[in-house]
Amino acid sequence: MSTNLKSTVNAKLFNEAITKAGKALSKSYVSVLDNVQVTFKEGRCAVTGTNLEHWLEVNIPANGDSFSFITSDMKSLLKACKHFDGDIAFEMQQDGKKVSLKSGSRIVTQDCHGDEFPKSPGVGEVLESCKANALSLTERISKIKYAVNVNSTQPIYTGICFSGEKLIAVDGFRIALNRSPDLNVDGEFVLPLNNLKLLEVFGKEDLTIEFTKKYAVFANSGTKLIIRRLAGEYMDFKRHIQPDADAKEIYVVNTAEYRKELSFLNDLIGSRNYEYVRFENGNLRVLTKRGNFSTKIKVSGNAEMVYGFECRYMLDALNHLKGAKSITFRVYSPLSPIIMNDSGSDADLALVLPARITDLEEKAA
């Protein structure tokens, strides 16, 4: 009589679960972190992946014994699961060293990883709970992620800040902000951008989000994503968003036209050069030792103040606001952040720090 442990799951659901959990893995010198843990317990199969900064657990129905194992060759198992259909029968040897997966006539047998799998953290007391749609949240993050510096020496700025109805990204040279009443938090929580990419596993589903002292937990009925919060003090972005009344100039430009002319200048600047664009009443000039390049856009309103900016940063801001037919600019001084938003909406806001005009003049000398 066999004493091996056995359990069964639907092949399609298991393939989806292990594919999702596999997205949580990162290349690591610790081999166990290149694999997932599969746990059968109380009529459920939980597939878990982690990189120690996030944990992703996907649950599906199961029938049979309770047992757990860690895959030893995740890539091979993923390939095999794509060819399974119907049900998958799991059988683990009593000594826990090997596990077999059988679907129809196809059988895959693997060694079980010998190391202990990192446990999901105890997330602690919930400080705040709210709901959001996964697709809406990922689209909002996608709009502003250009302003995150994932290589920053200050970890707090490698993430997205959740504050009230706003999602904020800053990198020291620009600020990107998106506002929506669909998600509203009382506190301020910063989560790593690289880990937030895992929200894609939820597709279009609605989520419950819980913030604790150290973690954020995103969950629905079958999937749970735990992300470690970034510690530190986030920039007081509000002090950089000055009131309209203090603006020296407010003017409007056509989004498509401005993007087209900046793209022309950006191609001439090239990716290896850090040469600024000089803006003066709709005239755009790049002054370099290699030559001078210029073009012009139409401006509605007073735009006499002269300032400079990094072309790539301004293009990123225009792409952030690409849904706008026209963009309203607010300029407070040649050295104050340039503030932009859709002329027909205040949902998205972009700030770009200007360059000093003296730098431009030196480049042109």
Assigned CATH class of 126-237:
alpha beta
- According to the model, what pLDDT value does residue 94 have? 87
Mean pLDDT of the chain: 92
pLDDT value of position 144: 97
- Which pLDDT tens digit goes with each residue over 231-243? 999 988 888 888 8
pLDDT at 256 exceeding the cut of 50: yes
pLDDT for 215 beyond 70: yes
The structural domains of the chain, with segments of one domain joined by +, span 5-111, 126-237, 241-364
How does pLDDT run across 179-208, given as a tens digit for each residue? 999 999 998 999 999 999 999 999 999 999
Q: What confidence category does residue 51 fall into, taking pLDDT thresholds of 50, 70 and 90? A: very high
Q: What is the pLDDT of residue 159?
A: 96
Strands 5-10 and 63-64: antiparallel
> What pLDDT is attached to residue 14?
97
Which residues contact residue 358 at a Cβ distance below 8 angstroms, ignoring those fewer than 6 apart?
Answer: none
Is 50 exceeded by the pLDDT of residue 34? yes
Q: What is the mean pLDDT of residues 203-232?
A: 96
pLDDT at 1: 47
Label residue 2 by pLDDT band (50, 70, 90): low
Q: What's the pLDDT tens digit per position in 161-174? A: 999 999 999 998 89
Percent of the chain at pLDDT exceeding 70: 97
The answer to whether residue 157 scores a pLDDT higher than 90 is yes
Residue scoring higher pLDDT (66 or 270): 66
In this structure, which amino acid lies at residue 97? K
115-155 confidence digits (pLDDT tens): 899 998 999 999 999 999 999 999 999 999 999 999 999 99
Residue 364: pLDDT band with limits 50, 70, 90: very low
At residue 13, what are phi and psi to the nearest 5 degrees? -65, -35
Q: What is the pLDDT of residues 292-332, one digit of tens each?
A: 999 999 999 999 999 999 999 999 999 999 889 999 999 99
pTM of the entire structure? Answer: 0.90
Q: What is the homologous superfamily of the domain 241-364 according to CATH?
A: DNA Polymerase III, subunit A, domain 2 (3.10.150.10)
DSSP character string of 284-339: EEEEETTEEEEEE---EE-----EEEEHHHHHHHHHHTTT-SEEEEEE-STTSPEE
Burial of 271 (0-12, 13-18, 19+ CB in 10 A): exposed
Residue 359 has pLDDT above 60, yes or no: no
pLDDT at 69 over 60: yes
pLDDT at position 358 is 63
Q: What is the pLDDT of residue 124?
A: 92
Pairing of strands 215-219, 223-228: antiparallel
What pLDDT, on a 0 to 100 scale, did the predictor assign at position 183? 93
> Do the domains spanning 5-111 and 126-237 agree at the CATH topology level?
yes
Q: 286: burial class by Cβ within 10 Å (0-12, 13-18, 19+)?
A: buried
CATH topology of domain 5-111: DNA Polymerase III; Chain A, domain 2 (3.10.150)
